[in-house]
Structure 1
Amino acid sequence: MKKTAIVLAISGLALASAAQAAPQANTFYAGAKAGWASYHDGLTQFERLDGLKTGHQRNSVTYGVFGGYQITDNLAVELGYDDFGRNKVKYKGQTIGKHTAHGTHLTLKASYPVLADLDVYARVGAALVRSDYKTYDDSFVGEGFPGRRGHDLSTSAVFAGGLEYAIMPSLALRVEYQWLNNVGKKSNSLSTDYRPDVGSVTAGLSYRFGQGVAAPEVVTKKFAFSSDVLFDFNKSSLKAGGSEALDGMTTEVANSGLASPNYNVAGYTDRIGSDAYNQKLSEKRAETVANYLVSKGVEQTNVTAVGYGKANPVTGSNCDTVKGRKALIACLAPDRRVEVSVQGAKTVTM
């Protein structure tokens, strides 16, 4: 018989974790963002004030904070606060009026994974926005424009979309475009109501609570060794080639990441010989393998050895018609085996 080890990983529940960008369901997240905002529409009415040609500065810095609850893997509810930036009306390069807006928003966030760590997402909801208006009492503008302040509180629709990348399970980067419809409502004598839209591009970081938790998963690996590789026929002392085969198994288990694995060693014989003799031989062979594992550093309490004698033959009736002892010994070789079942906890980062 060819003396090569049948070292087969018959079953292994090796687990792979592909982190999606969205947090795990039933967890919370919080973050901050900053970027650039731009006011649109409603600005042309200020191009002339009593015949004075004016301009405007529609772009400014925006920033905000947000937090959310991940309802499912792909749906979250998000609450946030934003400084939506500001628009300035200018005359001869100086500011004569200013509109600032800030407030809270509540949106639903739906995401879809496009790569293992990258999601595309959209948010839809409403924002409660406070708009503050200020005009400046500049002498060159004239007496018709004294310094004044005012504010209003209004609700605006929020639409947003972006990409979210999981740098690690607990930390994600998002890039987003957000649009607020009809921010504020300022009536004036110059034209119709002033209700601009605000668009913004931001980048932000979010921290996901409860992510990256080490989740122990039970992993089982099974190995089968031809008894002829480990032992000479009718012997229970380990051969030199047998130690190499067992070393290969322990190396594979060590590389699998199992914590304190348990080794269950089962010894079997063929049907030649009495039941009592085969039972004793199978027990000695199982104990020999167990003792070798202990000598290689496996905790003795983590190793069990059981002999099953001629039970559970794998050859079935294949050798029933074989004539001659040598031929029968060769035919029954698969029944002479040692099986090792290794079970342990593998830490998987979610």
Structure 2
Amino acid sequence: MKKTAIALAISGLALASVAQAAPQANTFYAGAKAGWASFHDGLNQFEDQAEAMGTLRNSVTYGVFGGYQITDNFAVELGYDDFGRAKIRELGKTVAKHTNHGAHLSLKASYPILSDLDAYARVGAALVRSDYKGEAVERDHKLQTSAVFAGGLEYAIMPSLALRVEYQWLNNVGKKVNSFSTDYRPDIGSVTAGLSYRFGQGVAAAPEIITKKFAFSSDVLFDFNKSSLKNGGSEALDGMTAEVANSGLANPNYNVAGYTDRIGSDAYNQKLSEKRAETVANYLVSKGVDQANVTAVGYGKANPVTGSNCDTVNGRKALIACLAPDRRVEVAVQGAKTVTM
């Protein structure tokens, strides 16, 4: 019984892990994010021009995204971001500003770290509009493609809602060349946190413990007073194992109980019931059931189902026929099954 409880607990945990995995294949998701962006490279040239000049590299960034989960661990994602802005300052006053926004398309690959936590990476391209304006810079804009690289962690708060933390790198944003700037193409790194809603996930799939009971007349499985399977007995047991296999139970446990009628001594009936239960258990193991998942117990003439119905029956043959329901083998099959609510 203790082994059965442990096995069922393990089965339940395994099914729970499956239920909390990454988004299901062939589903969509959408979300929003916000964080902090920082410009890298390209700004030093302005700071070097004069002591009084400086730059502000950091700003807020935000965006929306949506994706299609092709497989459990592979998706294609489309997003639109305000990538952030940089400012050039002189004597404490902003004299020029560079802002960026645009759409990006990327492929996203995920790897499960825990049952509800994935690490992921994205690689793709962004179509970025860069706007330049200010006192010392001619008002202008550029529309140019930049490479996008990102990596992060995604945690499933529930099957339909996930939290992600991400670092994104936008390579060579825009291109500005004039007397004030020389080949100005900065990179932008950003750290964001976001939430995504996964469509079609439903409520968490929950493991349910199910017990199926089978009762076999000993006269079907055995000859009278015998404990070896007779012709046709194996076919009855094969029907049971086929039904269990098609029921979707994970790692089921088989509890086999043998019973006899009241004819004969208690010791003889106890021994016969044990042998018959063991015969059935051994047959199940021979058909591929894990031996650790099978228990066999004999109960002798205990728990008769005929009650007092046969008390007035005369003659041995008539009594044997009347007590036939007491001669039986009962099999309780118990296992976990995932039920989506």
TM-score clears 0.5: yes
Which residue of structure 1 lines up, in the alignment, with residue 139 of structure 2?
149
Distance in 2, matches of 1:151 and 1:177, equals: 26
| CA positional deviation for 1:195 | 0.4
Which residue of structure 2 lines up, in the alignment, with residue 84 of structure 1?
83
Percent identity between matched residues is: 69
Alignment of 1:331 with 2:271, yes or no, is yes
The runs of 5 or more residues in structure 2 that have no matched partner are 229-262, 277-326
Distance in 2, matches of 1:218 and 1:104, equals: 45
User: Is the helix fraction higher in 1 or 2?
Assistant: 2
Which residue of structure 2 lines up, in the alignment, with residue 254 of structure 1?
none
* TM-score, structure 1 as length reference: 0.62
- Kindly indicate whether the alpha-carbon contact (under 8 Å) linking 2:57 and 2:87 is maintained by their aligned counterparts in 1: yes
Distance in 2, matches of 1:349 and 1:108, equals: 29
Greater mean alpha carbon deviation, residues 12-21 or residues 214-223 = 214-223
Q: What is the letter of the counterpart of residue 38 of structure 2? A: S
Superposed counterparts of 1:285-300, under 5 Å: none
- SS of residue in 1 equivalent to 2:185: coil
Deviation string 1:173-214 (CA, Å, 9 cap, x unpaired) is: 100000000000111113421100000000000000011357
Distance in 2, matches of 1:56 and 1:216, equals: 55
Q: What is the letter of the counterpart of residue 37 of structure 2? A: A
Which residue of structure 2 lines up, in the alignment, with residue 185 of structure 1?
175
Q: What is the letter of the counterpart of residue 98 of structure 1? A: K
* TM-score, structure 2 as length reference: 0.64
Structure 1 residues 216 and 166: alpha-carbon distance in aligned structure 2, compared to 1, 3 A threshold: closer
Distance in 2, matches of 1:222 and 1:315, equals: 27
| CA positional deviation for 1:317 | 3.8
- SS of residue in 1 equivalent to 2:221: coil
Given candidates 199, 222, 226, the residue that maps to 1:313 is: 222
Deviation string 1:93-125 (CA, Å, 9 cap, x unpaired) is: 111100000000000001101111111110001
| CA positional deviation for 1:65 | 0.3
Distance in 2, matches of 1:117 and 1:127, equals: 30
Which residue of structure 2 lines up, in the alignment, with residue 119 of structure 1?
118
| CA positional deviation for 1:47 | 1.9
Distance in 2, matches of 1:24 and 1:90, equals: 49
| CA positional deviation for 1:346 | 5.5
Alignment of 1:266 with 2:215, yes or no, is yes
| CA positional deviation for 1:311 | 1.7
Deviation string 1:144-174 (CA, Å, 9 cap, x unpaired) is: x4x7421010000000001111111111110
Q: What is the letter of the counterpart of residue 179 of structure 1? A: W
Structure 1 residues 325 and 217: alpha-carbon distance in aligned structure 2, compared to 1, 3 A threshold: same
- Kindly indicate whether the alpha-carbon contact (under 8 Å) linking 2:29 and 2:196 is maintained by their aligned counterparts in 1: yes
| CA positional deviation for 1:91 | 1.0
Distance in 1, matches of 2:21 and 2:132, equals: 40
- SS of residue in 2 equivalent to 1:311: helix
Which residue of structure 2 lines up, in the alignment, with residue 45 of structure 1?
45
Alignment of 1:167 with 2:157, yes or no, is yes
Superposed counterparts of 1:1-350, under 5 Å: 16-18=15-17, 19-20=19-20, 22-47=22-47, 51=50, 53-136=52-135, 145=136, 148-213=138-203, 221-223=211-213, 266=215, 268=217, 310-313=219-222, 317-318=226-227, 325-326=264-265, 328-334=268-274, 336-337=327-328, 339=330, 348-349=339-340
Structure 1 residues 110 and 183: alpha-carbon distance in aligned structure 2, compared to 1, 3 A threshold: same
Structure 1 residues 59 and 216: alpha-carbon distance in aligned structure 2, compared to 1, 3 A threshold: closer
Structure 1 residues 21 and 155: alpha-carbon distance in aligned structure 2, compared to 1, 3 A threshold: farther
What RMSD over aligned residues (CA atoms) do the two structures have, in Å?
3.4
Q: What is the letter of the counterpart of residue 27 of structure 2? A: T
Q: What is the letter of the counterpart of residue 163 of structure 1? A: L
- Kindly indicate whether the alpha-carbon contact (under 8 Å) linking 1:20 and 1:115 is maintained by their aligned counterparts in 2: no
Structure 1 residues 164 and 340: alpha-carbon distance in aligned structure 2, compared to 1, 3 A threshold: same
- Kindly indicate whether the alpha-carbon contact (under 8 Å) linking 1:17 and 1:348 is maintained by their aligned counterparts in 2: no
Distance in 1, matches of 2:90 and 2:204, equals: 61
Size of the aligned set, in residue pairs, is 248
- Kindly indicate whether the alpha-carbon contact (under 8 Å) linking 2:68 and 2:75 is maintained by their aligned counterparts in 1: yes
Distance in 1, matches of 2:112 and 2:127, equals: 30
- SS of residue in 2 equivalent to 1:212: coil
